[in-house]
Structure 1
Amino acid sequence: MKYGVTLLPSSFESFRRHVRLAEAVGFDYIGVADSQSLFRELFVSLAVAATDTSRVHLGPSVTNPLTRHPAVTASAIASLHELSEGRAFLGIGTGDSAILNLGLRPARLRALGDYVAAVRAFLAGEHAEYLGREAHVRWSSEPVPIMMSAEGPRTLKMAGAIADRVMIHTGLTPEILADTASRIREGETDAGKAAGSTEVWAFAKCNIADDHAAAINEIRMALAASAHHAFRFTLEGKHVPPELHEAMQIIQGEYVPAEHEQVGQTRNAALSDELGVTDYLADRFAVVGTPEECRAKAAQIAASGADVLQITAISHDPADIIRRFGEEVIAKS
């Protein structure tokens, strides 16, 4: 299993330090969050990362179909691919904080599928119709791996059919990972793709510390973000115990998009404790705790068949997560 880290660029000074550190301690992939209202601009940040690294692969984790025309996205990712000498990937989903902070709703699955098809055509230098109008990116000619973010059964199946990679945000327990993989493989079969040809990336909120409770406490806002995103449309087919349905629905109503992934004493950070679901969300969505606990969880995810474990580094000291995960998990895996 390989390892990646998703960064939220709050300043270019700190972002450049984190990018260099991630490559130095052994990460294979660096993802950058796309949330224009909260963090530095995605493709500017990725260009900075490309010039400050030489080995890691880079891309959005993830962008959306609403804030950029597919020709704009194709041109941007093709430019990054050229700049990084072939190290780019394109991560895309239906949209979260980027679109919620604009007062928009996430894209529908059909719209996401149409967007991915258009981007593929544009990356190949082909003309394609999108929203009834023809467009092109005539200078691009090299494909870039496309990764879809997916949680629900229908999205997972679509991702298996049309994506090269799937970033799963369904949960990290063996049972959920097995069910998730089966949905992706079903999509591969329906599309006539070779079984197992779609990479599976397990997305995990992360914190590593010497004290288990302290590690969880610092990323409670991230756990609420995972619940808000993964359960936003429906709980059907998402393996949530019935006794927790009401709590997950309350999170949908009370989550504050403007405070998305904000460290500190925010409303989002308080939600999981108030609802008594902090430990449940940590077990389901996070690699968190002591180095020994994080290594055990990573090994469990690898044994479940994930190709990549993509963690987040969101805390008062993201560099500490990056460094300790590299030295105490990746190096000892």
Structure 2
Amino acid sequence: MDFGLVLQTDPPARLLVERMTRAEGAGFSYGWTFDSVVLWQEPFVVYSQILAQTERLIVGPMVTNPATRTWEVTASLFATLNDMFGNRTVCGIGRGDSAMRVAGRKPATLDRLSRAMHAIKELAEGREAEVDGTAMRFPWVSEGAALPIWMGAYGPRALALTGRQADGFILQLADPYLTEWMVKAVRQAAVEAGRDPAEVTICVAAPAYVTADDSPEALAHAREQCRWFGGMVGNHVADLVSHYGEHSEMVPEALTDYIKDRQGYDYRHHGRSGNPDTAFVPDAIVDRFCLIGPVEAHIEKLEHLRSLGVDQFAVYAMHDAIESTVDAYGKSVIPALA
């Protein structure tokens, strides 16, 4: 199992670069960031610094979208970094949540996302693609350039698109039941498209908070530090409920039930511990969606996820114990599962 670290591009960028360097030293192989340029700094500028100061770390957004940049610009950003540092990027992409909504726009359609994924990959790997009706190709891309496209998804149509087209699947929650359900949907879609389902990389991303023990006080603090994640996932779940209904057979109630008391969401607090819009998230959801507790609890849950086909676990580290969590994973968790 590979491991990634997910951070927001808060200033100062120097601190983020230092934390990514620390993560590589601890055994992490991927460095991810959010991509909402109104809320945080531009990630692609920061990626160049991370890549320059690490040796093996692969970097990318979790996730970008097909609307805030034109597709050829996105492809050129990745292709330039790969030319400079040797195919050390991955394009995590989805319909767009915070990046679109904070700017007053709606998330992209799945059709637009599909076309964008195709164009970005083709251009970044040196082939011709069509963008807005115009065929184009980057003449400067070197032979052997490679850009994996990993798609974030929850709903049935998005999961099917992931299986048909994407190189990887990003699932932003660590609940074993939902992971099994969604991985099965992605793999089934891959089979139906004539693909080898084993070729679709499975990445689970969720907050991880390592505590010294499993005392009620330690677990309560960890839950409060990670409760924001249930609110973030709830934005996507609310979209699914709006589209499919509250009790649809298309979407597991294990995913949708918990948002019944959701009142709204202010993106100024997006991805932050202490987010006031996440009071509706119960402890049980925090425990299911995240990894909290002593090291042994993390290892046990990750072994379960690995048995379900998960290839990478990406640690969301938006809490008050970033460095200690990275260090604990490097010392105990990664060696147990790598």
Query: How far does residue 20 in structure 1 lie from its aligned partner after superposition?
Result: 0.9
Q: Is the alpha carbon distance of 1:306 and 1:241 closer, same or farther for their aligned partners in structure 2, counting shifts above 3 Å? A: closer
- Taking the aligned partners of 2:197 and 2:129, their CA distance within structure 1 comes to 28
- The corresponding residue for 1:186 is 188
Give the counterpart letter for 1:201 in structure 2: C
Query: How far does residue 167 in structure 1 lie from its aligned partner after superposition?
Result: 0.6
SS at match of 2:303: helix
Query: Cα deviation per residue 1:214-243 (whole Å; 9 max; x = unaligned)?
Result: 11111222221122234433354332259x
Return 5+ residue gaps in structure 2 as ranges.
213-217
Asked whether the 8 Å contact 2:228–2:271 carries over to 1, the reply is yes
Asked whether the 8 Å contact 1:74–1:137 carries over to 2, the reply is no
Give the counterpart letter for 1:248 in structure 2: I
Asked whether the 8 Å contact 2:163–2:197 carries over to 1, the reply is no
Q: Does 1:144 align with 2:155?
A: no
* Farther off after superposition, 63-72 or 230-239: 230-239
- Cα RMSD after superposing both structures: 2.0
Query: Cα deviation per residue 1:179-203 (whole Å; 9 max; x = unaligned)?
Result: 2121111221222111321111111
Query: How far does residue 4 in structure 1 lie from its aligned partner after superposition?
Result: 1.0
Query: How far does residue 250 in structure 1 lie from its aligned partner after superposition?
Result: 4.2
Q: Is the alpha carbon distance of 1:133 and 1:197 closer, same or farther for their aligned partners in structure 2, counting shifts above 3 Å? A: same
SS at match of 1:216: helix
* Farther off after superposition, 111-120 or 230-239: 230-239
Query: How far does residue 84 in structure 1 lie from its aligned partner after superposition?
Result: 2.2
Return 5+ residue gaps in structure 1 as ranges.
none
Give the alignment partner of residue 253 of structure 2, picking from 219, 227, 240: 240
SS at match of 1:196: helix
Give the alignment partner of residue 318 of structure 2, picking from 314, 321, 329: 314
- The corresponding residue for 1:111 is 112
- Taking the aligned partners of 1:206 and 1:174, their CA distance within structure 2 comes to 15
Query: Cα deviation per residue 1:264-298 (whole Å; 9 max; x = unaligned)?
Result: 3x323xx33xx3x4223213321122222222211
After TM superposition, the score normalised by the length of structure 2 is 0.89
- The corresponding residue for 1:89 is 90
SS at match of 1:118: helix
Give the alignment partner of residue 267 of structure 1, picking from 276, 280, 285: 276
- Taking the aligned partners of 2:324 and 2:38, their CA distance within structure 1 comes to 26
- Taking the aligned partners of 2:318 and 2:270, their CA distance within structure 1 comes to 11
Query: How far does residue 27 in structure 1 lie from its aligned partner after superposition?
Result: 0.7
Query: How far does residue 319 in structure 1 lie from its aligned partner after superposition?
Result: 1.8
Query: How far does residue 249 in structure 1 lie from its aligned partner after superposition?
Result: 4.6
- The corresponding residue for 2:293 is 289
Q: How many pairs does the alignment contain? A: 323
Q: Name the % identity.
A: 27
Give the alignment partner of residue 168 of structure 1, picking from 171, 175, 182: 171
Asked whether the 8 Å contact 1:32–1:45 carries over to 2, the reply is no
Give the counterpart letter for 1:232 in structure 2: D
Give the counterpart letter for 2:295 in structure 1: P
SS at match of 1:315: coil
- The corresponding residue for 1:206 is 208
Asked whether the 8 Å contact 1:71–1:137 carries over to 2, the reply is no
Asked whether the 8 Å contact 1:206–1:311 carries over to 2, the reply is yes
Q: For residues 42-121 of structure 1, what are the structure 2 equivalents within 5 Å? A: 42-121=43-122
